[in-house]
Amino acid sequence: MNLIIDVGNTFVKLAVFNGDKIEYKKQVELDLIIEEVKAIKNNFKLIKRAIISSVGSLKSDAVAVIKQYFDVLILDANTNLPFKNSYQTPKTLGVDRIALVCASVQQFPNSNVLIIDAGTCITYDFITEVNEYLGGAISPGLQMRYKSLHNFTAKLPLLNTEMPLSITGNSTQQAIHSGIVYGVLKEIEGVIEVYNQKYSDLTVILTGGDSNFLSKQLKSSIFATSNFLLEGLNFILHYNSNE
């Protein structure tokens, strides 16, 4: 059994895998990570290995505690990966993006795959059918766009994500929803179209915190999955295991 630890800026996602199957999953605040790891250790005696992926700031004492319980792999630019990385600045490639690409290698081998992660940022990552990662794109996510309109103007309100009633907003609130949501949807559709024109048999994966909201508005040919990053981290741990 494996413990997967995905550290964000505020929250931590933890998952226990038995082989390729998730047995347990929980999200906690960053300062509760040690308490949750101890609880998992008590409830799942067969866990031997853990992987830590951190885009946030995980304190060294927390890492030390986790290492007391498990054989820990910390994902970074030097980790052995199951694909050719042609990114020109591999040391700046986010570990979350690495994990997503690894998940695509495991689940969609020998395929041209575009992975769209709709979270704080919207990231686009592309790997070819010959297992070569070429890179992608980064743009602001839904909430970042809402916050930007509020923070960089004097009077525009801060709104929660909502599907607009019409493309033509008949109030300031509806205009904001229309500009942001349709802007994101058309961006995603446009990026997919460009890749479709260049690469045959394209597989498109949509994941991340806003994937459920966006998938309802996008074409059904897109695979929407909420656990893709966790599955990629589990695969990396298996790939780097001697077993």
Domains detected in the chain: 2-74 (3.30.420.40), 84-233 (3.30.420.40)
pLDDT for 56 equals 73
Please tell me the distance from the alpha carbon of residue 157 to that of residue 176, in angstroms, as a whole number: 9
Known catalytic residue: 96?
Answer: yes
95 is in an annotated binding site: yes
Q: Residue 174 corresponds to which tokens in the numbers above?
A: 């509806």
User: Using one digit for the tens of pLDDT, what is the confidence trace for 21-39?
Assistant: 999 999 999 989 999 999 9
> Contact, 164 vs 116, CB < 8 A?
no
Please tell me the distance from the alpha carbon of residue 73 to that of residue 52, in angstroms, as a whole number: 6
Q: Residue 48 corresponds to which tokens in the numbers above?
A: 């031997």
Name residue 108's amino acid. F
Selection from 97, 104, 65 nearest residue 82 by Cα? 104
pLDDT for 200 equals 81
Selection from 192, 94, 45 nearest residue 85 by Cα? 94
Parts of the chain with a pLDDT under 70 = 220, 242-243
pLDDT for 243 equals 55
Q: Residue 160 corresponds to which tokens in the numbers above?
A: 């929660």
Please tell me the distance from the alpha carbon of residue 210 to that of residue 226, in angstroms, as a whole number: 9
pLDDT for 242 equals 67
- CA 164 vs CA 159, 174, 186, 188, 220: distances in Å: 12, 6, 14, 17, 20
225 is in an annotated binding site: no
Q: Catalytic residue, from 20, 31, 76, 96: name it.
A: 96
CA angle at 172 for the pair 169 and 178, rounded to the nearest 5°: 40
Please tell me the distance from the alpha carbon of residue 186 to that of residue 234, in angstroms, as a whole number: 33
96 is in an annotated binding site: yes
